[in-house]
A and B are shown apart, each in its own frame.
Chain A
Amino acid sequence: MSSAPVISLDRVTFRFGQFVALADVSLHIGMGQRVALVGSSGAGKSTLIRLMNGTLQPTQGEIRAFGQELSQLKPQRLRQIQRQIGTIYQQLHLVDNLRVIHNVNAGHLGRWSFWKALISLVVPLDLPTATNALTQVGILEKLYERTDRLSGGQQQRVAIARVLVQDPLVILADEPISSLDPQLSRDVMELLCQICEPSNRSLVVSLHNIEFALRYCDRIIALRHGRLLFDAPTGSVSNEMIADLYRL
C-alpha cells in the first residue's frame, strides 16, 4: 500500500430501513490502485460505491475522502470533494434526451457557474476538452448525436468521457460492463485502465465477472451479504476463496 489513502471506510454500516445492506466494513483505497469489488447481486457493491461518492450517508461509522469525513461537510465543501470522485454508472444514469456533448460537458458542472452552464446548453462551450475526451473513448463522431440514439456500449463510453472531463482523482465504476458483450466488455475495461494509469488515478470498479476482476485489477475486495469476505491482492486470491464467495 502506498501513501495516504484517498478513500477510507472505518466500520461502516448502512441500513435501508430494517435491511442491512453493509455491515461493519472497513477498507482503504490508495492512490493509483485498481480495485475490483466483487460479489453476487445484492452483496452491497452498489451501496458501497454510493457511500464512497457521498450520495449515501452511513448509518454508522465514518467515510473519509482525501482526509475529510463526508457526513460532516457542508454542501458546498462536499461538492468540492465530489468533484474529485468521478462515478460511472450503468447507462441509465445519462440524461438521454440531451445531446452527447451536453452529457459530456456535465462533467464540468462542479466547476461551472450557472450562467456558463446555461449558455452551454444553447451553444456548447469548452469544445476541445469534450472532443478530446470523446476521441479517447473512440466515439468522436457522436458528439452532436442524441444520447438515447446510441447503443449501450456507446452510452457507456459517453459516461466515461464525462468522467474524463470531470478529471477526478478517483474513478468509481458501478457494474460498467454488466450489459455489454464480452468483446465490448474487454474494450471498456481496457479503456478504464488506460485513463487511470498515466495520471495515477485510483479506480474502484464493481464487477459481476470474476475473470475480468482478476485480469484487470491489482486488488480484489469481495462482499458477501453486506460483509467484507476478503480484501486481497489479485495474486493471492485462490480458487477456494472464489468458490466460497459464490457459494449459495
Chain B
Amino acid sequence: MTKPASRFFIAPSLLWGLVGLAAIALSLWQAGLFRQAVFNLNGFPLLWRFVVASVHPDVSRNLLDITLRASLVTLAYAVCGTFFSVVIGAVAGVFCSEVWWLEVLQANHFRYAGFQIIRALLAFPRAIHELIWGLFFLNIWGLDPLVAVVAIAIPFGAITAKVFSEILDETPRQPLLALINSGVAPLAAFLYTLLPQAFLNLLSYSFYRFECSIRAAAVLGIIGAGGLGYEILLSLQSLRYEQLWTFFYALFFLNGCVDFASAALRTQLGCASRIDLNAHHPPSRNRQNSHRIFGLFPIAIAGVALSFWYIQPDFSKVWSPRSQQLFNQIVQASLPLDFSALPHLMPLSLETVAMSVLAIAIAAIGGLLLAFPATQNFFLLSRVLNRYRGDRLLPHVMLATARIVLLLCRAIPAPIWALVALYVLFPGILPGAVGLGLHNLGILGRLFAEVIENLEQPPLEALKAGGAPDSLVFLYGVLPLTMPRFLAYTLYRWEVCMRETVIVGLVGAGGLGRALTEQLSSFDYPSLGVTLSAFLVLTFLVDWISATVRRSLRASS
C-alpha cells in the first residue's frame, strides 16, 4: 500500500464513495428520471386503498384457516430447505476448504488444483437465484413441494458450503497439526479438532441461513409453490387488500419469530453477529453455554421430520423416468442457443445493473437511517451517548417503530413490494429498484443495527470525556468505527440485489428479468438460455467489483 503522505490524501473509502455516488446518478438517469414519465400519479387512490387496508385486515375464520396452513407450508419449506442446504454445505464445505486439502489430504499441486476447481464450480449454483432454480424444476417435476425445497437447497447449499469452508479455513490450525504430527490419522484429527472448534460458528451461520430460507420460501410462492407468498400474490392480483394484509401480518409474525429465536440462540452461543463479513470468525466466547444447545437437537430433528411429513415432497420424482424425459426435452428445446437477441440484451443488462445499484442505494440509505434508532444501546442504554435524558419513552417508541418497520420491510418479498410500487410508478427499473430496495433495507438495517450494538465503547468514552458534544462523538467516533462494516455489508447485499433483479423482473419490473418473463411465457428456451447466461456474466461481474472494492477498503483498514 502506498503511504499516505499528504494532508490532501483521499482515503479509499471516500474515493469509492464518490464512485458509488456517480454510479447512483447514472443509474437514476438510466431509470428514466428527469427524462421521461416515471411517476404515475393516477395510481395513488389504489395505493391509498392498499395502505388503509393495513388497519383492517380480513380476520374471518375461513381466511385465518388458510393463513395458518399457508404459514405452516412456508415454514416447512424453509425448514426442509435449510436442512438440505446445511447438509450440502457441511459436506461440500469440508471438501472445498483449503485446510482439508492441505492438511488432511496433504495434497500435492495436482490435487490442489482440483480443490480450486471445485471451489470455482460452486460459484455457479450460487449465482442463480432460487426462483430460477424453482422455475427450472417446475418444468421437470411439476407442482410438487420438492421443487421449493430443492430450489432453496441448491443455491443456499452452495453459499453455505462457501461460508463453512471459510470458517474452517480461519479456525486456528495448530491443534489439528499437533494431532497429525503426533501420528493421529488426518480424518480423525480433523473430526477431533477443527470441527468442534468451528462448530459454534457453523451452527450460528446455519441459523442465519434459516432466516434467509424463510424469506426464500415466501418468494417461491410466487411461482406457484404454495405458502404465504402464493396467497399474497393471489390476493394482490385480485386486489383484495384486506386479505393481503392478513397474509402480510402472518409473514411478518413468522419472520419476527424466526429472527428473534435465531438471535436468542446466537446470544446463547456467544456469537454476536449473524455473518461476519470482515472475514474473521473469532472463537466463540462463552463456551460454557454451548452444551445447552444440544438439548435443542431432538427438537430440531423433530422439526425437520414434521416439516417433511407436512409438505410430503415426492422424492421419487428426482430419478423417475418421466422427469428424465422432461429434462431431456428442455435440454433439446434449448439447444442450440439463440443468440439473435444478444444485441437487445446489452441495454437490458445495463438496466439490470442500474436497478441493482438503485436498489442498494435505497437499502443502504434507508437502512442507515433506521439502524440507529433500532439499536438497543444507542439512544437507550448507552452511558456514553446518553447520560442526561429527560424522558425514556421517546427512545423506546423509536426503537420499537424502527424495528417494526425493518421487520415489515424484510418480511415482504421484493416482488410483492415491486407490485405495490407499480401502482404509482410506470413499469421499468424504478419499481423494481424500489421493491428490491425496500426488502433489502429491512435486512441491511438489521445488520447495521448489529454493527452498532457491537460497537467498541472505549474510544467513544474517551472522546466524550474530553468534552466533545454528541454530534462530534458521532462524527469522530461512531462513524469511522462503523462505516467500514456498513460498506462491507452494503457491498455484500449489492451482490444479492443483483441476483434478485431477476425476481422483480418476473412481476413486470424492467431489465433482463423482464426479458426473461417474456421468453418464459413464450417458451422460447433457446433465447432463455442466452438471457440466463447474460445474467450469470453480470452476477460474476458485480461479485468481482464488490470483492475488489471490499479488498481495497480492507487493505486500507
Spell out A's residues near B (CB within 8 Å). Answer: 50, 53-57, 74-75, 78-83, 85-87, 89, 92-99, 101-102, 106-107, 109-110, 112, 114, 117-118, 121-124, 127, 144-146, 148, 162, 166
Contacts and interface: CB of A to CB of B under 8 A. Distances in A.
Nearest to A109: B468
B471 A114 contact: yes
B466 A87 contact: yes
Nearest to B557: A97
Contacts of A80: 467
Contacts of B467: 78-83, 109-110
Contact of B476 (A83, A89, A109, A148): A109
Given A82-B465, A94-B459, 16 more contacts: A53-B465, A55-B461, A87-B466, A92-B459, A93-B458, A93-B461, A93-B462, A95-B463, A97-B481, A97-B557, A106-B468, A110-B466, A114-B471, A117-B475, A123-B7, A145-B4
Contacts of A145: 3-4
B451 to A, nearest CB: 13
Contacts of B466: 82-83, 86-87, 106-107, 109-110, 162, 166
Contacts of A55: 383, 461, 464-465
B8 interface: yes
B321 interface: no
Contact of B468 (A54, A110, A121, A123): A110
Contacts of B475: 114, 117-118, 121
Interface residues on B, range: 35 or more
A85 B465 contact: yes
A218 B387 CA distance: 35
Contacts of A95: 459, 463, 476-477, 480-481
B277 to A, nearest CB: 16
Contact of B463 (A74, A78, A92, A109): A109
B15 interface: no
A79 B459 contact: no
Contacts of B458: 89, 92-93
A110 B471 CA distance: 11
Given A127-B7, A144-B6, A98 B468 contact: no
Q: Closest 4 interchain pairs by CB?
A: A110-B467, A109-B468, A82-B467, A93-B462
Interface in B455-500: 456, 458-459, 461-469, 471-473, 475-477, 480-481, 484
B475 to A, nearest CB: 6
Interface in B1-16: 3-9, 11, 14
B557 A54 contact: no
A55 B11 CA distance: 32
A93 B457 CA distance: 8
Contacts of B388: 74-75
B533 interface: no
A123 B456 CA distance: 26
B387 A97 contact: no
A74 B471 CA distance: 17
Nearest to B10: A122
B332 interface: no
A199 to B, nearest CB: 17
B460 to A, nearest CB: 9
Nearest to A96: B459
B465 A92 contact: no
Given A117-B476, A145-B4, A92 B464 contact: no
Interface string B372-412: 00000000000100011000000000000000000000000
B556 interface: yes
A99 B467 CA distance: 21
Contacts of B7: 101, 123-124, 127, 144
Contacts of A109: 463, 466-469, 472-473, 476
Q: Which of A55, A80, A83 has the most CB of B within 10 A?
A: A55
A44 B481 CA distance: 29
A87 B463 CA distance: 9
A127 B481 CA distance: 23
Nearest to A94: B459
A88 to B, nearest CB: 9
Contacts of B471: 114
Contact of B462 (A54, A87, A112, A123): A87
B462 A89 contact: yes
A107 B11 CA distance: 22
29 contacts: A50-B465, A53-B465, A55-B461, A55-B464, A78-B467, A79-B469, A82-B464, A82-B465, A83-B466, A83-B467, A93-B458, A93-B461, A94-B462, A95-B476, A96-B459, A98-B476, A101-B7, A106-B466, A109-B463, A109-B466, A109-B469, A114-B472, A122-B14, A144-B3, A144-B4, A144-B5, A144-B6, A146-B4, A146-B556
A121 B13 CA distance: 13
Contacts of A97: 480-481, 484, 557
Nearest to A168: B466
B8 A117 contact: no
A163 to B, nearest CB: 8
Contacts of B387: 57, 75
A78 B471 CA distance: 16
B280 to A, nearest CB: 14
Nearest to A76: B469
Interface in B277-314: none
A170 to B, nearest CB: 12
Interface in B417-469: 456, 458-459, 461-469
B463 A106 contact: yes
Interface in B524-557: 556-557
